[in-house]
Amino acid sequence: MNRLNGILLYTPEDAARNRWFIEQLCQYAESEGMSLRLCLSDAAKPSELCAVQPDFLINRSRLAAYSLAAEQRHIPCFNSAEVTAITNDKYQTYLHLHGRHRIPMAETLEISPRALPGNLTYPLIAKPADGHGGAGVAWLRDADALAAYAESVQDGERFLIQKPVVTGWDVRLYMLGGTIYSAVLRTSDTDFRSNFSLGGHAECIKPDSGMRALVRRILDIMPLDFAGIDLLRSPDGGYILGEIEDAVGCRMLYQLTDKDPARDFIRYIRQQLS
Protein backbone atom coordinates (compact mmCIF):
# COMPACT_ATOMS: atom_id res chain seq x y z
CA MET A 1 0.00 0.00 0.00
CA ASN A 2 1.50 3.32 -1.10
CA ARG A 3 1.95 5.89 1.67
CA LEU A 4 -0.12 9.01 1.00
CA ASN A 5 0.63 12.48 2.28
CA GLY A 6 -2.26 14.78 3.07
CA ILE A 7 -2.95 18.24 4.41
CA LEU A 8 -5.53 18.97 7.12
CA LEU A 9 -6.60 22.61 6.89
CA TYR A 10 -8.19 24.59 9.72
CA THR A 11 -8.54 28.22 10.65
CA PRO A 12 -6.48 29.09 13.74
CA GLU A 13 -9.63 29.63 15.83
CA ASP A 14 -11.19 26.29 14.88
CA ALA A 15 -7.91 24.45 15.32
CA ALA A 16 -7.68 25.69 18.91
CA ARG A 17 -11.21 24.45 19.62
CA ASN A 18 -10.73 21.07 17.94
CA ARG A 19 -7.30 19.91 19.08
CA TRP A 20 -8.48 16.50 20.22
CA PHE A 21 -10.35 15.77 16.96
CA ILE A 22 -7.31 16.90 14.94
CA GLU A 23 -5.10 14.52 16.92
CA GLN A 24 -7.54 11.69 16.25
CA LEU A 25 -7.56 12.35 12.52
CA CYS A 26 -3.76 12.41 12.38
CA GLN A 27 -3.40 9.23 14.45
CA TYR A 28 -5.88 7.30 12.35
CA ALA A 29 -4.21 8.53 9.16
CA GLU A 30 -0.96 6.96 10.40
CA SER A 31 -2.72 3.66 11.09
CA GLU A 32 -4.05 3.69 7.52
CA GLY A 33 -0.63 4.25 5.98
CA MET A 34 -1.05 7.98 5.45
CA SER A 35 0.55 11.08 6.92
CA LEU A 36 -1.60 14.09 7.72
CA ARG A 37 -0.05 17.51 8.28
CA LEU A 38 -2.02 20.24 10.03
CA CYS A 39 -1.90 23.60 8.24
CA LEU A 40 -3.55 26.82 9.38
CA SER A 41 -5.28 29.10 6.92
CA ASP A 42 -3.35 32.16 8.08
CA ALA A 43 0.00 30.50 7.39
CA ALA A 44 -0.31 30.03 3.64
CA LYS A 45 -2.21 31.47 0.70
CA PRO A 46 -4.36 29.05 -1.34
CA SER A 47 -1.80 28.98 -4.14
CA GLU A 48 0.99 28.21 -1.65
CA LEU A 49 -0.72 25.50 0.36
CA CYS A 50 -0.55 22.83 -2.32
CA ALA A 51 2.82 23.81 -3.81
CA VAL A 52 4.25 20.64 -2.24
CA GLN A 53 1.65 18.64 -4.22
CA PRO A 54 0.03 16.62 -1.43
CA ASP A 55 -1.99 13.54 -2.31
CA PHE A 56 -5.18 14.92 -0.76
CA LEU A 57 -6.64 17.82 1.21
CA ILE A 58 -9.09 17.67 4.12
CA ASN A 59 -10.48 21.18 4.25
CA ARG A 60 -12.09 21.96 7.61
CA SER A 61 -11.53 25.71 7.29
CA ARG A 62 -14.79 26.50 5.42
CA LEU A 63 -12.63 28.47 2.94
CA ALA A 64 -13.36 27.30 -0.59
CA ALA A 65 -10.40 29.09 -2.21
CA TYR A 66 -8.03 26.46 -0.82
CA SER A 67 -10.03 23.60 -2.26
CA LEU A 68 -10.32 25.36 -5.59
CA ALA A 69 -6.55 25.80 -5.73
CA ALA A 70 -6.05 22.14 -4.86
CA GLU A 71 -8.53 20.86 -7.42
CA GLN A 72 -6.85 22.94 -10.12
CA ARG A 73 -3.77 20.81 -9.36
CA HIS A 74 -5.94 17.66 -9.51
CA ILE A 75 -5.61 17.10 -5.77
CA PRO A 76 -8.66 15.35 -4.25
CA CYS A 77 -10.48 17.43 -1.63
CA PHE A 78 -12.78 16.30 1.18
CA ASN A 79 -15.32 17.93 0.87
CA SER A 80 -15.17 19.19 -2.70
CA ALA A 81 -14.59 22.85 -3.55
CA GLU A 82 -18.18 23.12 -4.79
CA VAL A 83 -19.60 21.82 -1.52
CA THR A 84 -17.42 24.15 0.56
CA ALA A 85 -18.22 27.18 -1.59
CA ILE A 86 -21.99 26.69 -1.60
CA THR A 87 -22.73 25.34 1.87
CA ASN A 88 -20.71 27.98 3.73
CA ASP A 89 -22.84 30.73 2.18
CA LYS A 90 -26.38 30.16 3.39
CA TYR A 91 -27.90 32.32 0.67
CA GLN A 92 -26.01 30.46 -2.06
CA THR A 93 -27.28 27.23 -0.50
CA TYR A 94 -30.82 28.61 -0.72
CA LEU A 95 -30.42 29.79 -4.32
CA HIS A 96 -28.76 26.58 -5.48
CA LEU A 97 -30.81 23.94 -3.70
CA HIS A 98 -34.17 25.68 -3.39
CA GLY A 99 -34.15 28.19 -6.23
CA ARG A 100 -32.56 25.94 -8.82
CA HIS A 101 -33.45 22.42 -7.66
CA ARG A 102 -36.65 23.00 -5.64
CA ILE A 103 -35.42 21.45 -2.42
CA PRO A 104 -37.92 22.66 0.22
CA MET A 105 -36.45 25.37 2.47
CA ALA A 106 -37.76 28.26 4.55
CA GLU A 107 -38.35 31.41 2.51
CA THR A 108 -35.15 33.44 2.69
CA LEU A 109 -34.14 37.00 1.79
CA GLU A 110 -30.66 38.49 1.67
CA ILE A 111 -30.58 41.89 3.39
CA SER A 112 -28.27 44.86 3.20
CA PRO A 113 -28.11 46.70 6.55
CA ARG A 114 -28.30 49.98 4.61
CA ALA A 115 -31.52 49.13 2.74
CA LEU A 116 -33.96 47.43 5.08
CA PRO A 117 -37.26 46.41 3.45
CA GLY A 118 -40.41 47.84 4.98
CA ASN A 119 -43.12 45.41 3.90
CA LEU A 120 -42.27 42.43 6.07
CA THR A 121 -44.48 40.16 8.15
CA TYR A 122 -43.12 39.33 11.59
CA PRO A 123 -41.82 37.39 13.44
CA LEU A 124 -38.70 36.60 11.41
CA ILE A 125 -35.34 34.97 12.04
CA ALA A 126 -32.10 36.79 11.20
CA LYS A 127 -28.76 35.06 10.72
CA PRO A 128 -25.33 35.74 9.22
CA ALA A 129 -24.91 34.45 5.68
CA ASP A 130 -21.72 32.65 6.71
CA GLY A 131 -22.60 31.67 10.27
CA HIS A 132 -22.57 28.23 11.88
CA GLY A 133 -23.39 26.66 15.23
CA GLY A 134 -26.28 29.04 15.88
CA ALA A 135 -23.97 32.04 16.33
CA GLY A 136 -25.50 35.38 15.39
CA VAL A 137 -29.01 33.96 14.94
CA ALA A 138 -31.74 36.20 16.36
CA TRP A 139 -35.51 36.22 16.70
CA LEU A 140 -37.05 39.40 15.27
CA ARG A 141 -40.43 40.33 16.74
CA ASP A 142 -40.88 43.57 14.83
CA ALA A 143 -39.27 46.22 12.61
CA ASP A 144 -37.45 47.74 15.58
CA ALA A 145 -35.77 44.39 16.26
CA LEU A 146 -34.72 44.21 12.61
CA ALA A 147 -33.24 47.70 12.77
CA ALA A 148 -31.34 46.84 15.95
CA TYR A 149 -29.96 43.66 14.37
CA ALA A 150 -28.89 45.60 11.27
CA GLU A 151 -27.06 48.07 13.50
CA SER A 152 -25.03 45.21 14.97
CA VAL A 153 -23.85 44.03 11.55
CA GLN A 154 -20.44 45.29 10.51
CA ASP A 155 -20.06 47.49 7.45
CA GLY A 156 -19.89 45.51 4.25
CA GLU A 157 -21.44 42.39 5.76
CA ARG A 158 -24.82 41.01 4.78
CA PHE A 159 -27.33 38.88 6.59
CA LEU A 160 -30.40 36.80 5.90
CA ILE A 161 -33.94 36.85 7.19
CA GLN A 162 -36.20 33.82 7.12
CA LYS A 163 -39.76 32.95 7.92
CA PRO A 164 -39.86 30.79 11.07
CA VAL A 165 -40.85 27.16 10.81
CA VAL A 166 -41.30 24.75 13.76
CA THR A 167 -38.85 26.18 16.30
CA GLY A 168 -36.67 24.41 18.85
CA TRP A 169 -36.54 21.22 16.74
CA ASP A 170 -34.23 19.85 14.09
CA VAL A 171 -32.54 16.65 13.02
CA ARG A 172 -28.88 16.56 12.11
CA LEU A 173 -28.09 13.79 9.67
CA TYR A 174 -24.39 13.01 9.55
CA MET A 175 -23.40 11.96 6.05
CA LEU A 176 -20.34 9.85 5.28
CA GLY A 177 -19.60 8.72 1.76
CA GLY A 178 -23.10 9.34 0.47
CA THR A 179 -24.92 7.43 3.21
CA ILE A 180 -26.51 8.39 6.53
CA TYR A 181 -23.85 7.71 9.17
CA SER A 182 -25.95 8.80 12.16
CA ALA A 183 -29.02 10.88 12.96
CA VAL A 184 -29.48 13.11 16.01
CA LEU A 185 -32.70 14.83 17.04
CA ARG A 186 -32.01 18.19 18.72
CA THR A 187 -34.71 19.98 20.70
CA SER A 188 -34.93 22.95 23.05
CA ASP A 189 -37.66 24.06 25.42
CA THR A 190 -35.99 27.40 26.15
CA ASP A 191 -34.63 28.64 22.81
CA PHE A 192 -35.99 28.75 19.26
CA ARG A 193 -32.56 27.37 18.27
CA SER A 194 -31.98 23.69 19.00
CA ASN A 195 -28.19 23.64 18.74
CA PHE A 196 -26.53 21.19 21.15
CA SER A 197 -23.74 23.72 21.77
CA LEU A 198 -26.36 26.20 23.01
CA GLY A 199 -27.80 23.84 25.60
CA GLY A 200 -30.35 21.95 23.53
CA HIS A 201 -31.26 18.31 24.20
CA ALA A 202 -29.93 15.69 21.80
CA GLU A 203 -30.80 12.03 21.20
CA CYS A 204 -30.03 9.53 18.48
CA ILE A 205 -32.94 8.51 16.28
CA LYS A 206 -33.62 6.30 13.29
CA PRO A 207 -34.37 8.53 10.29
CA ASP A 208 -37.80 7.92 8.81
CA SER A 209 -38.67 7.52 5.14
CA GLY A 210 -39.39 11.23 4.69
CA MET A 211 -35.98 12.22 6.01
CA ARG A 212 -34.23 9.63 3.87
CA ALA A 213 -36.08 10.71 0.74
CA LEU A 214 -35.17 14.38 1.18
CA VAL A 215 -31.53 13.49 1.90
CA ARG A 216 -31.38 11.41 -1.28
CA ARG A 217 -32.63 14.36 -3.32
CA ILE A 218 -29.95 16.60 -1.79
CA LEU A 219 -27.16 14.08 -2.39
CA ASP A 220 -28.21 13.62 -6.01
CA ILE A 221 -27.51 17.34 -6.46
CA MET A 222 -24.51 17.73 -4.18
CA PRO A 223 -22.49 14.64 -3.17
CA LEU A 224 -21.04 14.93 0.34
CA ASP A 225 -17.97 13.14 1.69
CA PHE A 226 -18.44 14.01 5.36
CA ALA A 227 -20.96 16.67 6.33
CA GLY A 228 -24.12 17.37 8.28
CA ILE A 229 -27.57 17.93 6.81
CA ASP A 230 -29.93 19.74 9.18
CA LEU A 231 -33.63 19.13 8.59
CA LEU A 232 -36.44 21.23 10.04
CA ARG A 233 -40.17 20.58 10.31
CA SER A 234 -42.53 22.62 8.20
CA PRO A 235 -45.71 23.99 9.84
CA ASP A 236 -47.55 22.43 6.90
CA GLY A 237 -46.07 18.99 7.61
CA GLY A 238 -43.05 17.17 6.30
CA TYR A 239 -39.41 18.18 6.37
CA ILE A 240 -37.42 21.01 4.86
CA LEU A 241 -33.70 21.63 4.61
CA GLY A 242 -32.30 24.00 7.21
CA GLU A 243 -28.66 24.04 6.18
CA ILE A 244 -25.67 21.88 5.34
CA GLU A 245 -22.64 21.90 7.64
CA ASP A 246 -19.51 21.38 5.56
CA ALA A 247 -17.01 21.12 8.45
CA VAL A 248 -19.54 19.35 10.64
CA GLY A 249 -18.79 19.07 14.34
CA CYS A 250 -18.68 15.61 15.91
CA ARG A 251 -19.01 16.21 19.66
CA MET A 252 -22.58 14.91 19.72
CA LEU A 253 -21.55 11.65 18.06
CA TYR A 254 -18.82 10.99 20.59
CA GLN A 255 -21.16 11.77 23.49
CA LEU A 256 -24.23 9.94 22.25
CA THR A 257 -22.90 6.97 20.29
CA ASP A 258 -20.09 4.43 20.21
CA LYS A 259 -19.16 5.53 16.69
CA ASP A 260 -15.73 6.89 15.89
CA PRO A 261 -16.20 9.50 13.13
CA ALA A 262 -12.51 10.43 12.93
CA ARG A 263 -11.55 6.81 12.29
CA ASP A 264 -14.37 6.17 9.84
CA PHE A 265 -13.75 9.41 7.91
CA ILE A 266 -10.07 8.54 7.50
CA ARG A 267 -10.91 5.00 6.40
CA TYR A 268 -13.34 6.41 3.84
CA ILE A 269 -10.62 8.72 2.47
CA ARG A 270 -8.17 5.82 2.24
CA GLN A 271 -10.71 3.82 0.25
CA GLN A 272 -11.42 6.72 -2.08
CA LEU A 273 -7.72 7.16 -2.83
CA SER A 274 -6.88 3.46 -3.30
- Show Cβ contacts of residue 110 under 8 Å, excluding neighbours closer than 6 positions: 91, 129, 158, 159, 160
Q: Return the pLDDT at 154.
A: 75
Q: Do residues 15 and 77 share a domain?
A: yes
Q: Do residues 175 and 239 share a domain?
A: yes
Domain span holding position 37: 4-85
Q: Do residues 140 and 203 share a domain?
A: no
Which CATH number characterizes residue 152's domain?
A: 3.30.1490.20
Burial track 194-219 (b if 16+ CB lie within 10 A, e otherwise) = bbbeeebebeeeebeeebeebbeebb
The helix (run of H) or strand (run of E) holding residue 154 is: none
pTM attached to this predicted model = 0.92
Identify whether the C-beta of residue 125 lies closer than 8 Å to the C-beta of residue 162: yes
Q: Do residues 201 and 227 share a domain?
A: yes
Q: Do residues 182 and 218 share a domain?
A: yes
Which CATH number characterizes residue 240's domain?
A: 3.30.470.20
Q: Return the pLDDT at 24.
A: 98
Q: Return the pLDDT at 190.
A: 56
- Is 147 within a domain? yes
Q: Return the pLDDT at 1.
A: 57
Query: Would you give per-residue pLDDT tens digits along the chain (274 residues)?
Result: 578 999 999 999 999 999 999 999 999 999 999 999 999 999 889 988 877 889 999 999 999 999 999 999 999 999 999 999 999 999 999 999 999 999 999 999 999 888 888 889 999 999 998 877 777 889 999 999 999 999 988 776 789 999 999 888 999 999 999 999 999 999 877 555 555 555 578 899 999 999 999 999 999 999 999 999 999 998 888 999 999 999 999 999 999 999 999 999 999 999 999 8
Binning the chain into helix, strand and coil, the percentages to the nearest 5 are 35, 25, 40
Which CATH number characterizes residue 37's domain?
A: 3.40.50.20
CA 177 to chain centre: 15
How many structural domains comprise the chain? 3
41 backbone dihedrals φ, ψ, rounded to 5°? -65, -20
- Is 223 within a domain? yes
Question: Could you give the dihedral angle defined by the CA atoms of residues 139, 161, 101 and 212, in that order, rounded to the nearest 10 degrees?
Answer: -10
